[in-house]
Amino acid sequence: MRILFLSHYFPPEVNAPASRTFEHCREWVLQGHEVHVVTCVPSHPRGVPFTGYDAGWYLRETVDGVTVHRVWTFLAANAGVVRRTLNYLSFVPSAIWRAFRLGRFDIIVATSPQFFCALAGYLNSVIKRIPWVFELRDLWPDSVAAVGAAQRGVLLRVLERLELRMYRHARLVVCVTRSFMLNLERRGINREKLAFVPNGIDVGMWQSGDRETPRHRLGVAADDVLVSYVGTVGMAHGLRMVLRTAQALLRDQPRIKFLVVGDGADLDTLQEDARDLGLSNLRFTGLVPRSVAKEYLDASDICLVTLKRSPVFRTVLPSKLFEAMAAGKPVILGVEGEAREVLQASGGGIAIEPENQAQLCDAIARLAAAPDLRMRLGAAGRGFVSREFNRTTWARTYLSFLASACGRRG
């Protein structure tokens, strides 16, 4: 097959959609298919091009056999509604024009969020009269209202109607959670056009590695217990609770250290708050390459996966949950719904109520005092995700769905 994939994010960006898209496309190339990705100049989340890139009109490169087409967009940081919306909207004409220039494809895949990336896939499908697949990674625009980035009103209702129209027009909707499938069925989308392809992990990449070198770099002693959050530092993630927990444990549990790895809309504010609180037991790294994030996971004793309390977030499966378990680390999960069910099935950690600081303190103290328990939970989680969420296996399943969607034998 000749596959066109539209994604706003792609490596060297290190967020979940960039990694998911690349690892799937790389596997499809290994299976003998021609894959083209239309994406942006890497600039997430600060809105500044990564080293080696500039904000030009077009750049073509090849990454592990995947042909990558980087198109112009209005660059903006992942903060503020107006500039970020312009960033998202500008991708639509750029992606459509580039896709038009690339000739005929067997199928188009467009991933959302961001929402207008899916719109570009829909419009490309109409223009070229070829089938397209809507990859649904978030119930946008519901999640926008859930984090308070926009109020429900006329605009969101219009976007919801457009969202439903795109679901109906797509040949297939690939959902990263089973909860998304149930949500779409309740809203009248035919179950026959829904497929489940969850987030997963590259098993080889996330195997445990050197623990001591990154701990030495961080100034963490051998008998310290390092509690880490590794992922986007955004509005949805409820990380102010982590700051309050670090403050509560600073005096009585000084050997418990906290690490926040990543960047996002809330990073600057959280850093200021941590300085104001005098949190000598908490450190931020900012944005780091994925390989370095993996080193910090290796250095950690406990990993946190948190989201704010919202019905929308009961439907998600955060990729950082799988990465922490693949690295063999016990997880404290502050997410309800499907993510909690997965953690409980794995035996890989402790589930708490979202934004419940008392439960978070208790779970950290319990695991900090029990290294054998940490090892047992970590081993259980690693075995579970290696079996159930292996990216290679799911990429091949995804490929069979694409073959069926464009009328080929899977």
- The answer to whether residue 154 is domain-embedded is yes
pLDDT average, residue stretch 106-118: 92
pLDDT, tens only, 266-304: 999 999 999 999 999 999 999 999 999 999 999 999 999
Q: Helix 16-30 and helix 319-326: axis angle, to 10°? A: 70
Question: Same domain, yes or no, for 10 and 44?
Answer: yes
- The answer to whether residue 332 is domain-embedded is yes
Compute the half-sphere exposure of residue 79: CA atoms within 13 Å on the CB side of its CA: 16
Q: Is the dihedral of CA 342, 139, 89, 121 positive or negative?
A: positive
- The answer to whether residue 207 is domain-embedded is no
Confidence at residue 239, expressed as pLDDT on a 0 to 100 scale = 93
Question: Same domain, yes or no, for 267 and 384?
Answer: yes
pLDDT, tens only, 344-365: 999 999 999 999 999 999 999 9
Question: Same domain, yes or no, for 185 and 278?
Answer: no
- The answer to whether residue 410 is domain-embedded is no
pLDDT, tens only, 359-390: 999 999 999 999 999 999 999 999 999 999 99
pLDDT, tens only, 139-188: 876 555 444 544 556 777 788 888 889 999 999 999 999 999 999 999 99
Confidence at residue 79, expressed as pLDDT on a 0 to 100 scale = 76
Question: Same domain, yes or no, for 89 and 145?
Answer: yes
pLDDT at 410 over 50: no
- Residue 191's Cβ-count burial label (10 Å; 0-12, 13-18, 19+) is exposed
Q: Which letter does DSSP use for residue 197 in this model?
A: -
Question: Same domain, yes or no, for 68 and 189?
Answer: yes
- The answer to whether residue 75 is domain-embedded is yes
Question: Same domain, yes or no, for 178 and 284?
Answer: no
Question: Same domain, yes or no, for 395 and 342?
Answer: no
With tokens 């999960």, the residue in question is 333
* Percentages (nearest 5) of helix, strand, coil residues in the chain: 45, 20, 35
Question: Same domain, yes or no, for 34 and 111?
Answer: yes
Banded model confidence at residue 5, pLDDT cuts 50, 70, 90: very high
- Residue 74's Cβ-count burial label (10 Å; 0-12, 13-18, 19+) is middle
Question: Same domain, yes or no, for 193 and 269?
Answer: no
d(CA 235, CA 118): 23
Domain limits for position 258: 212-388
Neighbours of 363 (CB within 10 A): 24
Segments in 170-281 forming alpha helices (H): 178-186, 212-218, 240-250, 267-277
What letters, b where the CB count within 10 A reaches 16 and e where it falls short, cover 148-158? ebeeeeeebee
> Of all residues in the chain, what percent carry a pLDDT higher than 90?
81
Looking at the whole model, is its pTM more than 0.85? yes
Instruction: Provide the domain count of the chain.
Output: 2
pLDDT, tens only, 56-101: 899 999 999 999 999 999 999 887 788 888 999 999 999 999 999 9
Confidence at residue 204, expressed as pLDDT on a 0 to 100 scale = 82
Confidence at residue 406, expressed as pLDDT on a 0 to 100 scale = 87
d(CA 367, CA 380): 15
- The answer to whether residue 205 is domain-embedded is no
Question: Same domain, yes or no, for 344 and 233?
Answer: yes
CATH number, position 192: 3.40.50.2000
- The answer to whether residue 369 is domain-embedded is yes
Strands 58-63 and 66-71: antiparallel
pLDDT, tens only, 11-55: 999 998 999 999 999 999 999 999 999 999 999 988 999 999 998
- Residue 405's Cβ-count burial label (10 Å; 0-12, 13-18, 19+) is buried
In which order are the strands placed within the sheet that holds 256-261? 282-286, 256-261, 225-230, 302-306, 331-334, 349-351
pLDDT at 333 over 60: yes
The first and second tokens of residue 97, run together, are 């024009």
For residue 17, give the nearest of 148, 199, 154 by alpha carbon: 199
pLDDT average, residue stretch 186-198: 94
Question: Same domain, yes or no, for 145 and 26?
Answer: yes
Question: Same domain, yes or no, for 11 and 129?
Answer: yes
Neighbours of 56 (CB within 10 A): 11
Confidence at residue 143, expressed as pLDDT on a 0 to 100 scale = 54
Neighbours of 209 (CB within 10 A): 15
- The answer to whether residue 257 is domain-embedded is yes
